[in-house]
Amino acid sequence: MKQLDEEEVGGAVGRSPPRRDGPGKVTGRAKYLDDLTFPDQLWGRTVRSTVAHAKVKSVTFDPAFDWSGITRVTATDIPGENVVALIVDDQPCLADGVVRHCEEAIALIAGKDREQLEQALLHVKIEYEPLPPVFDLLHSDVAFKKYKIERAVETLPEIFAKAYRIVEGTYKVRHQEQMYIEPNAICAVPRPDGGVTIHGSMQCPFYIHRALQRLMKLPTEKIAVIQTVTGGGFGGKEDYPSMLAGHAALLARKAGKPVKMIYKRDEDVAATTKRHPAVIKHRTAVAQDGTLLGCEIDVVMDGGAYCTLSPVVASRGVLHAGGAYRWPACRIDCRVVMTNTPPNGAFRGFGVPQTMFGIEAHMERIAHELGLDPLELRRKNALELGDQTPTGQELLWSVAAQEVLDAAVAKSDWHRKRHLFESEVTGRKRRGIGLSLALHGAGFTGAGEVRLKARAGVELTPRGCRVLAISTDIGQGTETVFAQMAADSLGVNFDDVEVAIPDTSKMPDSGPTVASRTVMVVGGTIASAARALQAALASFAAERYGAEAGQVTCREGIFYATVPDSPAERPLAPFGAIASAYLDERGPLRCIEQYAHPPGIEFDEVAYRGDAYPCFAWAATVVELEVDLDTFEIKLDRVVHACDVGKAIHPVLAEGQIEGGTVQALGYALLEEHFYKEGRVINTRLQNYLIPTSMDAPVIESVLVEDPYPHGPYGAKGLGELPMDGPAPAVVAAVLHAIGALVPELPVTPERVMAALEAAR
């Protein structure tokens, strides 16, 4: 481990104070969008495509229906450009002439009475002229983006020719729905100045802000986007709220009244983004002792009908496709293709759960085919400090692959259980224990952070400071950890730090709440700004109390000055006294800083070479389960998840991220599956798309490993997505251990277990 060049860890960081939003949430006082009322507010609904690909010949509002009191909007009502601005301008806000997927929005209606709107929806007639759809990702010839990572590829033919064994496998993963319990919800309020204010459930207020400038043809100052308490996101409220806010804003503009749109559960599931399905092929050259010599990996992801975030999802996916291992030579190809299904988008892990499933299931196949111990195979090939990733990134710090394996193996009693379960060969049940090793790049991929130039900071209050960042708390505990880091960096108590509600009109753009970047990137910037605020106040205090500027510091709410030629300090004044005097005499004080990427971390986005991430977080998952040989049902017994987070700013919240991510990943592994008919999701309800209940979830034993990242605040690196990566392949590994058959796709249903067992016989 490296020494930190940060200041010493202070009072609040590393402890677990009660979360800031706790009292509002346990009493029901916290106001989600549905709990707010707006004067004279209307409800909005969406008219959607019922076909996957067609020309729209006509949109008719049935003249026999009474439309009085109902506001109607079609693409012709859009004042600006008909686009949901994100990466590529291919997705219209309202379909105009052509629909490319089922549930695509074609028209909008708003009115006071929700039942009347239900009736009205039935009286909008759309005439289509069908076009041929594409549903199978392997049959699509339109790619949104292709990537290639090459490392010593000229040596691959010889490596494969001389290898002891070549192991091949194909792995398949399907859609996964974020299934936040609060559906998408936005209210648009028209303003007297012709602008609009958006309130709603969201992850990225400035995405909405930018999208509305183009759609509504409004200048920046005439749009304000304010986050309401958000009932979960997991990526599902990264980009989709830009679409929904656009719809609400168009209706509000035409009606001249606030318009609230809250999706019903089935509408949310049918129309909004999901995790990209993928097919991943591996071909690996292995030495007799299990040393990985080289590989060829081919990843195909299904982007759905529009580009949305697909290029970045695929980029992160391909950059993790080789897993946590050292590859002397490799060729990794990836393409993300168009199909006529609703666009896929961000979901915790962002391409990595797919490719990590591929490599980790393949590692199990390699161990199985060569008769090697799967733990030793991973230990032998795991990346170490100084090794290079497939893009040639030299790992300079915080590489904890062996440490997380050690922690998970010790906690799970791996060796004893492995032997014990192998000796159990009678009866109807078989037990198995399996593991996986994963890494997850923290922060934006490649040059993302450099381009973004995230800004965040603090402003002085009479007691402490107020944190200013657009980063949203969607349940992870952002408010709480920001307050902890700001308190320690400013030198005040946790309770004396406020965190402002994200509002685009009041604070700088600290970037979207995605990519496990909130603590590491934004938190680090806030900590730095809080130190600058302390320095400014310290020099003010020094002047006032006749001390030298460089000799005044603040700790736990008290300013001290060092005593010359002595280790002693003399207290000068409480923070509140200095702050109040400053505010009275000099007025408001704000320190806003821009995120500084670590020096020397550079990525070539054309060649796909270099430092893809400033650092990686590491995780090892051990799953213990039981397979019923008659029904092929799987019962989870125990999950151990060791995650290296650099530094747990708030251990209880960090464990909460691990446990919650693990159960989402176990849902992905065992339960969650969407079924499509002609491009339309047919299981849109919680009755038929099953997420884990408290009875499905096993006891999860999380282990926090802290291998500090020298450029992260207090050593912290990203954590949010990491726990999503490893559990699914660990389930496959445990099933293989239990019954000797490898299930190469998700979810691992009884049918797939049976098929794998038959194939293995």
User: Residue 626 CB, nearest distance to another protein (Å)?
Assistant: 16
CA-CA distance, 82 to 641, in Å (whole number)? 46
Q: Between residues 18 and 219, which has the closer beta carbon with respect to another protein?
A: 18
Neighbours of 471 (CB within 10 A): 33
Q: Which residue has the tokens 């000799």?
A: 551
User: Residue 718 CB, nearest distance to another protein (Å)?
Assistant: 17
The SS3 call for residue 271 is: helix
Running DSSP on this structure, what letter comes out for residue 453? -
The SS3 call for residue 449 is: helix
Neighbours of 24 (CB within 10 A): 12
The residue among 506, 513, 529, 520 whose CA lies nearest residue 457 is 529
User: Residue 688 CB, nearest distance to another protein (Å)?
Assistant: 10
Q: Between residues 254 and 265, which has the closer beta carbon with respect to another protein?
A: 265
Q: Between residues 104 and 268, which has the closer beta carbon with respect to another protein?
A: 268
User: Residue 695 CB, nearest distance to another protein (Å)?
Assistant: 5
User: Residue 671 CB, nearest distance to another protein (Å)?
Assistant: 12
Q: Between residues 73 and 663, which has the closer beta carbon with respect to another protein?
A: 663
User: Residue 466 CB, nearest distance to another protein (Å)?
Assistant: 22
Give the CA radius of gyration of the chain.
27
CA-CA distance, 558 to 233, in Å (whole number)? 39
User: Residue 165 CB, nearest distance to another protein (Å)?
Assistant: 39
Q: Between residues 475 and 523, which has the closer beta carbon with respect to another protein?
A: 475
* Cβ(317)–Cβ(352) below 8 Å: yes
CA-CA distance, 632 to 635, in Å (whole number)? 10
Q: Between residues 19 and 101, which has the closer beta carbon with respect to another protein?
A: 19
User: Residue 660 CB, nearest distance to another protein (Å)?
Assistant: 4
Token pair, residue 266, equals 């089935």
Q: Between residues 108 and 663, which has the closer beta carbon with respect to another protein?
A: 663
Token pair, residue 220, equals 């920046």
Q: Between residues 58 and 694, which has the closer beta carbon with respect to another protein?
A: 694
Q: Between residues 58 and 687, which has the closer beta carbon with respect to another protein?
A: 687
User: Residue 190 CB, nearest distance to another protein (Å)?
Assistant: 24
Running DSSP on this structure, what letter comes out for residue 498? E
User: Residue 416 CB, nearest distance to another protein (Å)?
Assistant: 23
User: Residue 723 CB, nearest distance to another protein (Å)?
Assistant: 9
CA-CA distance, 435 to 678, in Å (whole number)? 37
User: Residue 228 CB, nearest distance to another protein (Å)?
Assistant: 12
Q: Between residues 183 and 303, which has the closer beta carbon with respect to another protein?
A: 183
Rounded to the nearest angstrom, the gap between the alpha carbon of residue 759 and the centroid of all alpha carbons in its chain is: 36
Q: Which ranges of 491-570 does DSSP label H, i.e. alpha helix? A: 524-545
The residue among 262, 273, 240, 237 whose CA lies nearest residue 117 is 262
Neighbours of 129 (CB within 10 A): 10
Token pair, residue 715, equals 């050593």
Q: Between residues 351 and 698, which has the closer beta carbon with respect to another protein?
A: 698
Q: Between residues 22 and 550, which has the closer beta carbon with respect to another protein?
A: 22
User: Residue 651 CB, nearest distance to another protein (Å)?
Assistant: 9
- Helix or strand holding residue 314 (H, E): helix 310-319
Q: Between residues 232 and 610, which has the closer beta carbon with respect to another protein?
A: 232
Rounded to the nearest angstrom, the gap between the alpha carbon of residue 593 and the centroid of all alpha carbons in its chain is: 24
* Cβ(712)–Cβ(646) below 8 Å: yes
Neighbours of 278 (CB within 10 A): 27
The SS3 call for residue 80 is: coil
User: Residue 355 CB, nearest distance to another protein (Å)?
Assistant: 23
For the CA atoms of 338, 343, 347, 351, the dihedral, rounded to the nearest 10 degrees, stands at: 0
Angstrom distances, CA of residue 309 to CA of 84, 103, 186, 235, 724:
12, 19, 21, 11, 19
User: Residues with Cβ < 8 Å from 738, sequence gap 6 or more?
Assistant: 421, 430, 431, 432, 625, 626, 627
CA-CA distance, 649 to 664, in Å (whole number)? 23
Token pair, residue 465, equals 């400071």
- Helix or strand holding residue 352 (H, E): helix 352-370
Q: Given the rule CB under 8 A, which residues bind another protein?
A: 16, 18-19, 21-32, 34-35, 178-183, 229-234, 264-265, 474-477, 652-653, 655-656, 659-664, 685-687, 691-695, 697, 699-700
Q: Between residues 22 and 130, which has the closer beta carbon with respect to another protein?
A: 22
The residue among 590, 594, 588 whose CA lies nearest residue 456 is 594
Q: Between residues 277 and 661, which has the closer beta carbon with respect to another protein?
A: 661
* Cβ(725)–Cβ(666) below 8 Å: no
CA-CA distance, 277 to 211, in Å (whole number)? 27
User: Residue 188 CB, nearest distance to another protein (Å)?
Assistant: 20
Q: What angle do CA 221, 223, 226 make, to 5 degrees?
A: 120
User: Residue 56 CB, nearest distance to another protein (Å)?
Assistant: 30
- Helix or strand holding residue 640 (H, E): strand 634-644
Q: 279: alpha, beta or left, given left = phi > 0 and alpha = psi -120 to 50?
A: beta
Q: Between residues 104 and 267, which has the closer beta carbon with respect to another protein?
A: 267
